[in-house]
Amino acid sequence: MILLVLGIALWVAAHLFKRVAPERRAAMGDKGKGAVAVALLVALVLIVLGYRGAPFINVWTPPAFMVHINNLLMLVAVFVYGMSATTGRLRGKMRHPQLTAVKIWAVAHLLVNGDLASIILFGSMLAWAVAEVIVINRSEAWVRPEPGPAKKDILLVVITLVMFAVITGIHAWLGVWPFPR
């Protein structure tokens, strides 16, 4: 559990660094991007190792139907995340599509995982995404991008379905079957 908590703390610190200490981050120049990237990679490794190695401590038992809600929310999360890269009509409909996707992802996983490590991981990622949005909104004005062609949104739907299949495949490969049996 210690690795999990350390990984989450490093993840949050690395992401908030440029918002909390912008002068210090700017003084690092381009090398700072590399340092933050390394910190995020280390954080991700710690989170994965900590989560996989954490003891199973059941806090609550989610009802079986939550798997369906989780899968629907995950499909929405993948789509919303993709909105950050689209150049279609949906471009600019949402200020923080990646952070919104993290929030949806976290809620979806909290609905189907009732163990302590999951609550710590997904709960803290939800709290981090909420805090990140608040900090960004207070520190930066948003210039809404112009929408592009609708055909790019159709491409986003196709990419969403492919990515959802890849993500469920990875879950199955890791031994977590994401569909009801």
Q: Does residue 147 surpass a pLDDT of 90? A: no
Q: Is 176 left (phi over 0), alpha (psi -120 to 50) or beta?
A: beta
Domain that holds residue 44: 1-54
Task: State residue 118's pLDDT score.
Answer: 97
Task: State residue 143's pLDDT score.
Answer: 86
Check whether residue 77 and residue 162 sit in a common domain.
Answer: yes
Q: Does residue 126 surpass a pLDDT of 90? A: yes
Read off the tokens for 153.
């949104």
What does the alpha-carbon distance between residue 1 and residue 117 come to, in Å, rounded to a whole number? Answer: 7
Check whether residue 84 and residue 158 sit in a common domain.
Answer: yes
* Those residues with Cβ within 8 angstroms of residue 181's Cβ, 6 or more apart along the chain or in another chain: none
% of the chain residues with pLDDT over 70:
99
Higher-confidence position of 84 and 56: 56
Check whether residue 77 and residue 117 sit in a common domain.
Answer: yes
Task: State residue 29's pLDDT score.
Answer: 83
Quick check: 97 and 80 in contact, CB under 8 A? yes
